[in-house]
Amino acid sequence: MRMDANTIVVPLPGDDLLDAVERSFRVSFPESYRHFIKEHNGAVPITNMFSMNQQEYIIEKFLCILDDSESDPINGWYDIEVTITQIGDRLTDNEDLVGMNVVPIAALFSGDFICLDFRETEEPTVVIWFHEESEEFSPVTQKVATNILEFFELLSK
């Protein structure tokens, strides 16, 4: 998968920042995603379309991880933590959950998000979270890939 190098958000997150985000969400990102975000933070994929169930989806951009989202007003809107602040109660089906079990990682042009779904397996699956259908504590998702590497393959075709 190739990324538009001009769209990478700097500074790139390091292990300390990724560890802090994982602790905050109470998840462990797959190593392949950690590697990806440390190199392509917030980037736009050159091949940004994938098909599923006879429908095409277009990735606007991958979300970024920023140490201080307020210091970057443009990319701050695409920070994972900022996104969760805006839609978090519609991402989980457990109002007592501490942390996150569905974590957005990419924005689609339709207003939906590609997410890592930690609800059923230790290694998260990749799902589309549908914003119009999801309600508070009732997320509507559809599985796209068994894991993040399989999802990246969809963008390499």
For all residues of the chain together, what is the average pLDDT?
94
Q: Identify the residue whose tokens are 């779904």.
A: 117
Q: Please, what are the domains in the chain?
A: 5-154 (3.40.1580)
CA dihedral 34, 97, 85, 146 (to 10 degrees): 40
What is the average pLDDT across 96-123?
Answer: 93
Say what the pLDDT of residue 101 is: 93
**Residue 54: which residues within 8 A CB-CB, separation 6 or more?**
none
In SS3 terms, 101-142 reads as CEEEEEEECCCCEEEEECCCCCCCEEEEECCCCCECCECCEE
- 100 has which bridge partners? none
Give Cα separations from 81 to 30, 53, 78, 134 (angstroms). 18, 30, 9, 19
For 54-101, how does the pLDDT look when each residue is reduced to its tens digit (9 = 90+)?
A: 999 999 999 999 998 888 888 888 999 999 999 989 998 888 888 899
Say what the pLDDT of residue 98 is: 80
Torsion sign (Cα): 36, 42, 47, 48? positive
What is the average pLDDT across 23-48?
Answer: 96
Say what the pLDDT of residue 38 is: 98
